[in-house]
Amino acid sequence: MPPGQTPTVPSVVIRHTWPVRAWHWFNAVLLYILLTSGLGIFNAHPRLYWGQYGANFDSAWLELERFGPLLTLPARYDLAMSRHWHLTAAPLFAFGLLAYMLWSLVSGHISRDLAFRRGELEARHVWQDIRNHARLRFPTGTAALRYNVLQKASYIAIIFIVLPVIILTGLTMSPGMNAAWPWLLDLFGGRQSARSIHFIAAFALVAFFLIHILMVVLAGPINELRSMITGRYRVPEDRP
Amino acid sequence: MSLIFTRRAIMLGAGAMLTGCDRIARNDMVRDALFNAENFHKWAQRTLMARDALAREFSPDHISPIFRSNGTNNPNTAEYKALWRSGFVDWRLEVTGLVDRPLSLSLAQLRGLPHREQITRHDCVEGWSAIGKWRGVPLKLLLDAARMKDRARYIVFHCADTMGDGHPYYESIDLVDAFHPQSILAFALNDQPLRVANGAPLRLRVERQLGYKHAKYLMKIEAVDNLAGIGSGKGGYWEDRAGYDWYAGI
């Protein structure tokens, strides 16, 4: 490349490979079912505790009103049906995550797109990225084709921390799994702690979802949405 | 456009999607799929755990200060009240069905048999847990004494309490759980005779499953080769009435 010349960026690229797109929409449906049926299950006992045990006479760290019918699956309180939805979606979701993790590792998705690059974690770079987000200055040109450092950090946190934690705390609430994998109880400090962490992780996902939607809207919803459906992404032109 | 308006639109959208889900759940194929997840979980858990893998047993300092009760707190039938008034001396546990030697045991006889004591966690399907110390007779002991036939596949527990609609409570487990070392018929909780609220005089403990499987106020244990003829055939009161899973390991 001759000096002084910038690399040419095609105006439309395939941004997301098909496994990313498939997993994204698979998750969108399953997480929606899991959250709403989970709130239905929570309504059966809307109190949270820390430790091995916890019931009405024990002190709860959080006590809520029941979630309303617009938020629960089914709309009308039905613990059995909520559990059917939740326990059907949960294994599909868990094995989906496992498959995605394996694919990411083997295909190089992790090292290519998610791993931090040299210098990215330097305070100055991170601070610059925070300022860019705060001023809603989205990357253009080639930079728009890579995840930025905050994006990478949140994807890594969700895929490798929040999602595994929500699956494992879900399993920790199962008396059968307690017998099969007793270490689960030690890992999370008891069944009621696991239930609390499961709930907190669910709301961390809700927070992620809200910021995710906000970013999509701000970055250009049509272009972003299309890139997650067909893969095609129109690269934003460099600012003059 | 105001934020409240957008929020309202989103809530209505979410509500519409949920109504959609409820409608989808009425489709027979979807319904079958939703109700069959139980089989996957049973298979997965039984595959991952050793047949006799134990539920966690706790030290005495983990015992819940108050062990709450749920479901029936008192059967309140004339028959039960009469048994209770005389301190359950006239109560008998029948062991019947596919056995070569049916048994009829008094509380004193049960107390005279070898015991097991275990401090375990009781997990309600609603989400709460309580830890208590149980003492009782291993179920295996009674099934062996009654010489259960090879044909038997399930053990059914018939209870003294009738729920609001007049149907007696009952539950059932398969032989993997029936012969599990922690499956006991408990007559004491926290070193006291079982209180009425917790299932006096005798209740089942099946520690690798949720609370509704732990039948209280036991009157009769029946070995059967299938569950079709009992109640509405789904293997338990809540399974019949509310569509709860028969396998309650999760």
Of the candidates A44, A75, A191, which has its C-beta nearest B126's C-beta?
Answer: A44
The residue type found at A62 is L
Residue with tokens 């053990």: B155
Q: Own/partner pairs for A158-166, CB < 8 Å, 24+ apart?
A: A158/A205, A158/A208, A159/A97, A159/A100, A159/A101, A159/A104, A159/A114, A162/A201, A162/A204, A162/A205, A162/A208, A163/A97, A164/A97, A165/A197, A165/A201, A166/A198, A166/A201, A166/A202, A166/A205
What's the token pair of residue B62? Answer: 């983990």
Closest by CA position to B137, among listed B107, B160, B157, B158: B107
Model confidence over B46-66: pLDDT tens digits? 999 999 999 999 999 999 999
B210 vs A: CB within 8 A: yes
CB contact under 8 A, B49 and A52: no
Residues 146-165, chain B: which have Cβ within 8 Å of A?
none
Contact B18 A36 (CB under 8 A): yes
Is B60 within 8 Å of chain A by CB?
no
CB contact under 8 A, A74 and B18: yes
Instruction: Give the Cβ contact number of residue B73 at 10 Å.
Output: 14
**Quick one: three-class SS letters along A161-176?**
HHHHHHHHHHHHCCHH
> Is A87 in Cβ contact with B37 (below 8 Å)?
yes
Q: With an 8 Å Cβ cutoff, are A91 and B40 in contact? A: yes
Nearest-angstrom CA–CA distance, B173 and B46: 14
Look up the ipTM and state it: 0.92
Ranges of each domain in chain B: 1-48, 55-242
CA distance A41 to chain B (A): 7
Minimum mean pLDDT range among A1-15, A222-236, B107-121, B207-221: A1-15
Tokens of A187: 């890992």
**φ and ψ at residue A3, rounded to 5 degrees:** -65, 150
pLDDT at B85 over 50: yes
B250: closest chain A residue by CA: A174
> What digits encode the pLDDT tens for the residues A29-79?
999 999 999 999 999 999 999 999 999 999 999 999 999 999 999 999 999
Looking at chain B, the whole-number percentage of residues with pLDDT higher than 70 is 94
**Does residue B5 register a pLDDT over 90?**
no
For residue B8, how many C-alpha atoms fall within 13 Å in the half-sphere facing its CB?
A: 5
**Does A46 sit behind a cis peptide bond, omega within 30 degrees of 0 on the bond before it?**
no
pLDDT in tens, B185-242: 999 999 999 999 999 999 999 999 999 999 999 999 999 999 999 999 999 999 999 9
Q: Which residues pair with B193 in a beta bridge?
A: B188
CB contact under 8 A, B127 and A41: yes
- B188, containing H or E segment: strand B184-189
Residues 6+ apart with CB under 8 A from B114: B137, B138, B141
| pLDDT surpasses 80 at B8 | no
CB-CB under 8 Å, A75 with B22: yes
Residues 108-137 of B with CB under 8 A from A: 121, 123-131
Interchain CB distance below 8 Å, A91 and B44: yes
**Cβ–Cβ under 8 Å, residues B182 and B55:** yes
Model pLDDT, residue B1: 40
Tell me the nearest-neighbour CA distance from B35 into chain A, angstroms: 6
CA distance A91 to chain B (A): 9
Locate the chain A residue with the closest alpha carbon to B239.
Answer: A80
pLDDT at B142 over 80: yes
Average pLDDT over residues A74-96: 97
Annotate B47-106 with DSSP letters as a single string: HHS-TTPPPP---GGGS-SS----S-S----HHHHHHHHTTTTT--EEEEESBSS-EEE-
Distance between CA atoms of A176 and B134, rounded to whole angstroms?
Answer: 19
Tell me what the pLDDT averaged over chain B comes to: 93
Predicted confidence (pLDDT) per residue in A173-214, tens digit: 999 999 999 999 999 999 999 999 999 999 999 999 999 999
Residue A1 has pLDDT above 50, yes or no: no
Q: Judge: A81–B40 Cβ closer than 8 Å, yes or no.
A: no
Query: How far B147 CA sits from the closest chain A CA (Å)?
Result: 28
Share of chain A above pLDDT 70, in %: 95
Report CB contact under 8 Å: B130, A173.
no
Nearest residue on chain A to B207, alpha-carbon basis: A175
Q: How would you classify residue B174: left for phi > 0, otherwise alpha for psi between -120 and 50, otherwise beta?
A: beta
For residue B235, give how far its alpha carbon lies from the nearest alpha carbon of chain A (Å): 15
Domain made up of A12-50+73-234: CATH architecture? Up-down Bundle (1.20)
Q: What is the DSSP string of B82-96?
A: HHHHTTTTT--EEEE
CB-nearest to B209 from A79, A176, A181 is A176
Chain A interface includes B193 (CB < 8 A)? no
CATH topology of domain B55-242: Sulfite Oxidase; Chain A, domain 2 (3.90.420)
Cβ count near B203 (within 10 Å)? 22
* B9 has a chain A CB within 8 A of its CB: no
Query: Is there a contact between B160 and B72 (Cβ–Cβ < 8 Å)?
Result: no
Residues of A in contact with B250 (CB under 8 A): 87, 173-177
Q: Three-state SS across A205-220?
A: HHHHHHHHHHHHHHHC
- With b for 16 or more beta-carbon neighbours within 10 A and e for fewer, the B112-122 pattern comes to eeebbebbbbb
Helix (H) or strand (E) run with residue B161 in it: strand B154-162
Exposed, middle or buried, B250 (CB in 10 Å: 0-12/13-18/19+)? buried
Q: What is the DSSP letter of A120?
A: T
Vertex A63 angle, CA A60 and A66, to 5°: 145
Find out whether A229 and A7 touch, Cβ atoms under 8 Å.
no
Note the residue count of chain B: 250
Angstroms from B244 CA to nearest CA on chain A: 5
Task: For residue B210, give the nearest of A45, A58, A175 by CB distance.
Answer: A175
| Separation of CA B200 from chain center | 15
